[in-house]
Chain A
Amino acid sequence: MTIAAAEKSPILEVHGVVKRLGGVDILKGINFTVAEGSVVAIIGASGSGKSTLLRCLNMLIVPDDGEIVWKGQRVGWVQKGSTWVRQKEKELLGYRTQVGMVFQSFNLFPQMTALENIIEAPMTVLGRKRSEIEEEAHALLRKVRLSHRVKAYPHQMSGGEQQRVAIARALAMKPKAMLFDEVTSALDPELKGEVLTVMRELAAEGMTMILVSHEMGFVRHVADEVLFMHQGIVKERGNPSDVLVNPASAELQAFLQRVTD
Chain B
Amino acid sequence: MDWTVVTSNAPLFVSATLNTVAIAAATIVLSVVIAFPLAIMRDSRFGFLRWVSAGYSWTTRAMPTLSLLFLAYYGLPQFGIYLDPVVAAITGLTVIAAGYNMEYIRVGLQAVPAGQYEACRALGIPLSIALRRLIVPQAMRTILPPLTSNLTLLLKGSALASLVAVTELSGQAMALISYTYKPIEILIAVALIYLCLNGVLVGVQRLVEQRYRLQD
**Bound complex: CA A206 to CA B35 (Å):** 49
The reply to whether A125 and B123 form a contact with Cβ atoms under 8 Å apart is yes
Asked if A153 is an interface residue, CB under 8 A from chain B, the answer is yes
- Given that A107-B115, A120-B134 are known contacts, is A58 also in contact with B215, CB under 8 Å in the complex? no
Whether the Cβ atoms of A60 and B121 lie closer than 8 Å is yes
Binary CB contact string for chain A from 92 to 111 against chain B (1 if under 8 A, 0 otherwise): 01101100110101111111
Query: Which stretch of B93-101, B124-132, B179-187 is in the interface?
Result: B124-132
- How many residue-residue contacts, CB under 8 A, span A and B? 68
Chain B residues 112-156 with CB under 8 Å of chain A are: 113, 115-116, 118-119, 121-127, 129, 133-134, 137-138
List chain B residues, Cβ under 8 A from A107. Answer: 113, 115-116, 118-119
Contacts of A106 in B (CB 8 A): 115
A93 touches B138 (CB 8 A): no
- Docked Cα-Cα span, A97 to B120, in Å, equals 11
What is the bound-complex CA distance between A107 and B119, given in angstroms? 6
Does A50 have its Cβ within 8 Å of any Cβ on chain B?
no
Q: B212 in the interface, Cβ–Cβ < 8 Å?
A: yes
B123 near A111 with CB under 8 A, answer no
A89 to B124, CA, bound (A): 10
One digit per residue, 1 when the CB lies within 8 angstroms of any chain A CB and 0 when it does not, for chain B 84-116 equals 000000000000000000000000000001011
Chain B's nearest CB lies how many Å from the CB of A76? Answer: 13
Within 8 A of B (CB), among A68-102: 89-90, 93-94, 96-97, 100-101
Q: Which chain A residue has the least Cβ–Cβ distance from B133?
A: A124
CB-contact partner of A60 in B116, B118, B133, B138, under 8 A? B118
Please state if B137 and A93 are interface contacts (CB–CB under 8 Å).
Answer: no
Known: A111-B137, A120-B134, A155-B214. A93 touches B126 (CB 8 A): yes
Q: Which residues of A contact B118 (CB under 8 A)?
A: 60, 103, 107
A108 to B214: give the CA distance in the assembly, Å.
13
Which of these, A58, A97, A153, contacts B214 with CB under 8 Å? Answer: A153
Q: In the complex the two chains form, is B124's CB within 8 Å of A121's CB?
A: yes
Q: Please state if A109 and B134 are interface contacts (CB–CB under 8 Å).
A: yes
Size of the B side of the interface (Cβ < 8 Å), in residues, is: 21
CB-based contact B125/A110 at 8 Å: no
Known A-B contacts A107-B115, A120-B134; the reply to A96 vs B121 at CB < 8 A is yes
A173 within 8 Å of B (CB atoms):
yes
Q: Mark B48-63, 1 if CB is under 8 A from A, else 0.
A: 0000000000000000
In the complex, which residues of chain B have a beta carbon less than 8 angstroms from the beta carbon of A156? 215
Alpha-carbon distance A110/B122, docked complex (angstroms): 17
- Residues in A with CB closer than 8 Å to B122 are 58, 60, 96, 100-101, 103, 170
Chain A residue, CB-CB nearest to B115: A107
- Taking the nearest CB of chain A, how far is it from the CB of B180, in angstroms? 54
Point out residues on A near B: beta carbons under 8 Å: 58, 60, 89-90, 93-94, 96-97, 100-101, 103, 105-111, 120-121, 124-125, 153, 155-156, 169-170, 173
Q: List the 5 shortest-distance A-B pairs measured between CB atoms, nearest first.
A: A97-B124, A107-B119, A107-B115, A101-B122, A121-B123
Apart from the given pairs A96-B123, A97-B123, 14 other A-B contacts in the complex at a CB distance below 8 Å: A60-B118, A89-B127, A93-B125, A96-B122, A97-B124, A105-B115, A107-B113, A107-B119, A108-B119, A121-B123, A124-B129, A125-B123, A125-B124, A169-B123
8 CB contacts below 8 A, A to B, read A96-B122, A97-B124, A107-B119, A110-B138, A120-B123, A153-B214, A155-B214, A156-B215
